[in-house]
Structure 1
Amino acid sequence: MINDLSLFRGPPGVERAREIIERMGKQQIPTSPANYEIWTTHVAGVKPDLSREIEARLQRGEAFTDETNEELFERFFANTRLSIQMLETSETIARELDDTVSSLRGAGGQAGSYAKVLQEAASRFEGGVDSAEFRTIVEHLAVTTHEMVESNLKLAEQIEAQSRQVEELQTALQSVKVEALTDGLTGLANRRMFDETLRRRMNDAAADSSDLCVLVFDIDQFKRINEAWGHALGDQVLRYIASVMRAHAQGDVLAARFGGEEFALIMPRTNVNLAEALAARISRAVKSKRLSLKSTGDVIGEITVSIGIARFRDADQSGDLAARAEACMLAAKHGGRDRIVTDAQLDRQSAA
């Protein structure tokens, strides 16, 4: 995995990204996320063994087939997947490349217009001027104009090819991001996305001394629901809870499936009072609907959740905040379920 992603940011990053795509294009390598990861790592020079392998294959004139690309990825990236940071950086590169392509398209269009004007002028002068010297100049102008037109056509073809590559990369990156960062059942962010987002939000909160709260939810008596009604209904309940959370996760609040029947919200710039008010609204919304078995119409009754809320503290390390929110959720369960417990309440209980 690439360690210094600053190499791929800003104007120098755009040039490196263009170089990567051009190299892949010369070898007729599809711009899939895995292939892009291989060649980005090679250009960055952070995996010498990978670079030596690629250079050796190039010297031998070997083709980079799908099988070869897959083999390289398995050998050198077997224990890694595209990280969130790499995904976001790749998307930035793709956007910057897209902007570059747009600018080149504009420049190409201007060159084409200029060439057309010169060509028209050359044609007029060639038909009505007697001066031999002036005719020589005009003939030279006509030749130059034709060269400009030819060059412009080649430039347009190159730009169009690069634009297609950028679009393919953007599409592939989005597909991988959805797969890597989303829970398949509920459509919410998965635990990996939750952990990475929380880390970044904690850094932001520490940097600007802003509020940050994490809410952890657990569905009450979920095991009993599965045992009594089956996992199909259990999945229905999970999707229902996810829909409620999604409806209440406004702005930059992240809703995630924390694990099993646990869910979580990351709420930047939100104090405990606001977080507790949102938790209460979610709790009421969950209880407001009586779920039923789709196949028979049997009503399964009221669904409730136990909720824990933790506020970011300056001394918190990675994982502390989520662990404290989960401890609050467990306290809510032990206290009778269908309730909300904050870390401030736990602190008061411990001090008593």
Structure 2
Amino acid sequence: MTTESPLKSRYWDTASATLDVLREYNLSPVPEVFHVWFVYFADENPDIFRALDIARQQGTRIDEKQLFDLYQQFILHPQMAEFLLQGMDDFADVIDHSEHSIGSVTTELNVYGKVLEEVDAVLQRDGCKMEVLGLVARQTRQIRQSVSALSEQLETYHQQITTLQVELEKAREQSFTDGLTRVSNRLHFEQLLSGLAEDLDNETNIQPFCLMLIDLDQFKQINDRFGHRVGDEILVLIAGILKSTIKGRDTVARYGGDEFTILLPQTRLDEAQSLAGELCNSVRVREVRAKSSGVSFGHMTVSIGVAEYQKGEGAASLVDRTDKALYLAKQAGRDQYCVAFPSVDTVEPAGC
């Protein structure tokens, strides 16, 4: 008897919930609309989740135009920026190659023109005059002028492409950044994680790396009691604490809702455990105050799951193991971290 994996089961549930909400709002199941709701129920984009969650809680009618706008802003634009940037890089290579070829032709024409001038001078000195030679010399000068003009035009194109590349790079950075907390978003995190896993699997880089999943304890109660604006301020504060605690090579990302990840390249499991304890303490001792009013909301705590990547296991397996460790940390009472030990396939609480 075979059993369905939790990941497949989760996505079947997500698809089912998506179809249900399409019926609820009487929406057409076109790809863009389906995609936005699927991302919402899968909790894969905090910006989409927040926009739709607020609308649903307020009982606001959600129409297809709003969904298309969300698709354009948070799904399509990041993909287009990546695609266009690659296209600009390829085009810039073509221009560079063309400029190199034109430079070579210009050099050869200059040499050829000088040879013609020297021959013409010798012939005139010896009393010989050849009309055809003068014609060839004039044609050569015209070709040199045309090539020079083309070279200037290519240089203009190159400058325009450089400007576009800078603008597209900014757009790509924005597509990799969470709109609220300004840390990396889930898309960027997953790309970095896949790259690290592939490098270690292929032995391109054999340095160990670890992953943390971090969840804010009792965050839903705060959101329900004080509203999303206060909840957003808390998320920004926690993101700042996480960023201030890590090293330069590490990456903090908002994974979804009130959940964050930290990717730790060149880090052993014991080092990641030490950092997890430091993060727990850093959050616990920080008093949470509203920016606008200065009202104190007390102290927050976090639960953390920690795991080290094992060669060949794949990025999805690492996330699953870390998620199990996080779940155990919350089950064990929150405000602590738990570690997934792959050597014995167990998850154990470690405290903070």
TM-score when normalising by structure 2: 0.62
Corresponding residue number in structure 1 for 2:144: 148
Corresponding residue number in structure 1 for 2:192: 197
Q: Deviations over 1:14-39 (max 9, x none)?
A: xxxxxxxxxxxxxxxxxxxxxxxxxx
Q: Structure 1 pair 93/296, CA: closer, same or farther in 2 (3 Å)?
A: closer
Residue 277 of structure 1, aligned match among 274, 278, 282: 274
Corresponding residue number in structure 2 for 1:241: 238
Residue 92 of structure 2, aligned match among 90, 98, 101: 98
Name the % identity. 25
Unaligned runs of 5+ in 1: 1-79
Q: Structure 1 pair 248/98, CA: closer, same or farther in 2 (3 Å)?
A: farther
Corresponding residue number in structure 2 for 1:183: 178
Kindly report the root-mean-square deviation, in angstroms, between the aligned alpha carbons of the 2 structures: 3.9
Deviation at 1:134, TM superposition (A): 6.0
What letter matches 2:215 in structure 1?
D
TM-score when normalising by structure 1: 0.62
Q: Distance in 2 between matches of 1:101 and 1:316?
A: 42
Corresponding residue number in structure 1 for 2:18: none
In the TM superposition, 1:245-260 aligns within 5 A as 245-260=242-257
Deviation at 1:112, TM superposition (A): 5.7
Q: Structure 1 pair 123/225, CA: closer, same or farther in 2 (3 Å)?
A: farther
Q: Deviations over 1:68-100 (max 9, x none)?
A: xxxxxxxxxxxx95897x976764553354355
Unaligned runs of 5+ in 2: 1-74
Corresponding residue number in structure 1 for 2:201: 206
Q: Is the 8 A contact 1:331 1:341 kept in 2?
A: yes
Corresponding residue number in structure 2 for 1:347: 346
Corresponding residue number in structure 1 for 2:222: 225
What letter matches 1:149 in structure 2?
Q
In the TM superposition, 1:36-75 aligns within 5 A as none
Q: Distance in 2 between matches of 1:99 and 1:315?
A: 35
Q: Deviations over 1:138-175 (max 9, x none)?
A: 55323312222123213432x14542563365256435
Q: Structure 1 pair 228/124, CA: closer, same or farther in 2 (3 Å)?
A: farther
Residue 304 of structure 2, aligned match among 298, 302, 307: 307
In the TM superposition, 1:105-116 aligns within 5 A as 105=99, 108=102
What letter matches 2:128 in structure 1?
A
Q: Distance in 2 between matches of 1:266 and 1:197?
A: 8
Deviation at 1:274, TM superposition (A): 1.0
What letter matches 2:346 in structure 1?
D
Corresponding residue number in structure 2 for 1:266: 263
Q: Structure 1 pair 129/270, CA: closer, same or farther in 2 (3 Å)?
A: same
Tell me the matched-pair count.
Answer: 270
Q: Is the 8 A contact 1:311 1:321 kept in 2?
A: yes
Q: Distance in 2 between matches of 1:191 and 1:132?
A: 79
What letter matches 1:145 in structure 2?
R
Q: Is the 8 A contact 1:216 1:263 kept in 2?
A: yes
Q: Distance in 1 between matches of 2:219 and 2:348?
A: 28
Q: Structure 1 pair 98/281, CA: closer, same or farther in 2 (3 Å)?
A: farther
